[in-house]
Amino acid sequence: MKVLEIEREIFVLDTLEKMREWGLQGLHFFITSRNEPDIHESLNLFSTQDVIMKNTGIDQDIVNFISSRLDIDRRLRKWLPYRNKIQNTLAERAKGV
């Protein structure tokens, strides 16, 4: 599966490079991706401004969403003893996404 993901990523980056070579005025790209070094390096060819989506407001929204799902969803009640660990781990690993 990882190979397919890498091949798809290469295809997308190559396609963006070809589109950039068209030299069309007014053509802008809005690209979102994981903050992986290889993706970031490739996208820097196109970017004039990086917008970092991670901030404390988004992190708090994620915590609130996870908390509400753990409170409301009956299927998740069986995990009540692990509530804090689940909430903390998911919020930490979400990294603003």
Instruction: Encode pLDDT of 29-53 as tens digits.
Output: 777 776 677 776 776 655 556 666 6
pLDDT in tens, 1-16: 677 777 888 888 888 8
What Cα–Cα distance (Å) separates residue 20 from each residue in 31, 50, 85, 87, 92? Answer: 13, 18, 45, 42, 36
Q: Is the pTM of this model over 0.75?
A: no
Helix axes 56-72, 83-94, angle to 10 degrees: 150
What Cα–Cα distance (Å) separates residue 88 from each residue in 10, 69, 79, 94? Answer: 34, 14, 14, 10
Give the long-range contacts of residues 4-9, CB within 8 A, separation 24 or more. 9/39
